Amino acid sequence: MTSTQSNSKGVAIITESAQGIGRSIAIRLAGDGYDVAINDLESNKENSEEVKKEIVAEFLERRVLIVLENVSVEEDVKGLVESTAKEFGRLNVVSCLQQVHCQTHLIIATSDDFESVLSVNVKGTFYSYKYAAQQMIAQGEGGRIIGASSLAGKKGKSTYAAVPLCMPCAYCASKFAIRGLTQSTAIELGRNGITVNAYAPGTIQSAMRKFRELCFNIGW
């Protein structure tokens, strides 16, 4: 049975959805009637399986696909979109949640430190927008693309309150870039009936944040 034959509202890809914000988005979209493709790294396979189990148990008619790919690698993102479209027959929504931080100060950060943040946060979003748009245009039915900026993408920060050893400049730069990427992509894809938006969440008390706070408190 394809998604067009079921009572599915559509098909959604949610990147970085094994935990945190992405997990919540995946569960919410499933609850709203979407079949979902959960994406995260291979290292988060166990968490991805738990999210799938939770969705299947709570929303019996929903279908869930796990695709373990690295969003900072272009071919992986292309494969993510192709695998989802092949499995479900279409793609209607893509939620791009890419965020990594650099845990060092600006004055001692290396080019690799800075590039590692931009590679995931900016390139990962760019690849997701690109291949989602290609698929949606080919379908000719429009679509919804959603990126993740941040309050740090609206106003620069000098440090993080709980984790002052992080390098906010790289994270802020990446989130400001996502706003520009989103706005320009929205203009470009509007003619195809594809909306492109970004949201700007504040601090989320995720497992990763708790771990960073613990490391700081014990002097790591």
Separation of alpha carbons 161 and 57, rounded Å:
38
pLDDT average, residue stretch 179-194 = 98
DSSP 111-151: HHHHHHHHIIIIIHHHHHHHHHHHHHHHHTS-EEEEEE--G
Residue 218 has pLDDT above 60, yes or no: no
Residue 206 has pLDDT above 90, yes or no: no
Q: Which of 206, 119, 126 minimizes the C-alpha distance to 170?
A: 119
How many percent of the chain have pLDDT more than 90? 66
* Residues 91, 92, 96, 97, CA torsion sign: negative
pLDDT digits (tens, 9 = 90+) for 114-125: 898 999 999 999
Q: Which pair of structure tokens corresponds to residue 103?
A: 């845990």
How many percent of the chain have pLDDT more than 70? 83
63-77, 144-158, 165-179, 206-220: lowest mean pLDDT where?
Answer: 206-220
Of 174 and 103, more confident: 174
Q: Which domains does the chain have, with CATH numbers?
A: 10-217 (3.40.50.720)
**Whole-number pLDDT of residue 204:** 67
Q: Which residues participate in catalysis according to the annotation?
A: 171, 175
Instruction: Map residue 155 onto helix, strand or coil.
Output: coil
Separation of alpha carbons 146 and 97, rounded Å:
9
pLDDT digits (tens, 9 = 90+) for 99-111: 777 666 778 788 9
Q: Which residues of 24-43 are buried (b: 16+ CB within 10 A; e: fewer)?
A: ebbbebbeeebbbbbbbbee
pLDDT digits (tens, 9 = 90+) for 32-61: 999 999 999 999 999 999 999 999 999 999
What is the residue-averaged pLDDT of the chain? 87
